[in-house]
Chains A and B, each alone.
Chain A
Amino acid sequence: MGEKEGLITTLDKVSEGKTATLISLEVGHGLLSRLLNMGLIPGTKINVLVNRGKGLLVIRVQDAEISISRGIAQKLIVKVES
């Protein structure tokens, strides 16, 4: 997962320790509302704290530590920052 800066991908592909900016959320309405309210809004910086390539991810968004299953992460389109 040696992704380059500026690459557009899904959150599950961003490796541990990297930061990405959320571009869009390709999820159904109920989950969308929950994610938005938790601070996962397009334009927000997401810090990937744990990502082992399988299983769930741990991210930091707006100072909150959130565990998120890979399935949801696969629906979040992001731009890799650094």
Chain B
Amino acid sequence: MNVSIRMIGVATTVFWVFIVIFAVSAMYSMKDVRFEFGEPQVSLTSEGDVLLFMPITVVNTGYYNIKNFNATTLVFDAESTLIVRGSTLVPIIETGMEVATGHNVTFSVADLLQKSERYLFEDVALRAEERIGLWAAEVIPVEARANVSLLWGAPLYNFALGAPQYSAYNVTHMRVEIPIGFENHAFFDLACNISVRMFDDSSSLLGVGATSVEVLQHSAYDGLLAMYVAVPTLETSTSGYFEVSFASSLFSYGPMVIYYG
């Protein structure tokens, strides 16, 4: 019996030594693993989708391989509804290796704008959750999570129509000029057609006008939209409303009602 007891003792001691050495070296090894996250780049794809690209570099100078390195990005809107989820997997990062990879997340602007018109006219703070998962020393699952705020810049921020300015055009018509102003806070240049239908109080159509605007990202637009209105109808109308519609390659929205007078 003593021999078997001693054998159990020897076996457990050997396993304990192995497990302690492995645990300590695995922890020490993680010290030599470096993660570098580059500046996220936002761009538009040819299909008109938003592409978030984040360069990731993993330098593994530890003693053990890293298995299943997985970067996941989840973007939530202001109501905490998931907008997009994207992940990148590197099956194995061997010791002494440097892996440079890119993490791509794509989502459609049209889909986002379908959720709420706020995204067109208001800057909204989106929440992005970054998850990094890996198997340290190929056997220890580790996961890190971080929440970052992602500011969505509205392409038609602070959109407003000014008071219509009337001028004589000919005997039958008057020229109506409507000042348009907004700021493009989006990360893309905006090329958009704006069409305006002018109505009086009794919802009779007075005139129709359209203009094309091209606004660089992070810049303001101030312009005039001209339309021609028959004199007799205009003379009876001092107030009413505009119906404004927007059409671009990324989105279509409208009609939006803005009152005047």
A and B form one complex: no
Measured CB to CB, the residues of A under 8 A from B are none
Measured CB to CB, the residues of B under 8 A from A are none
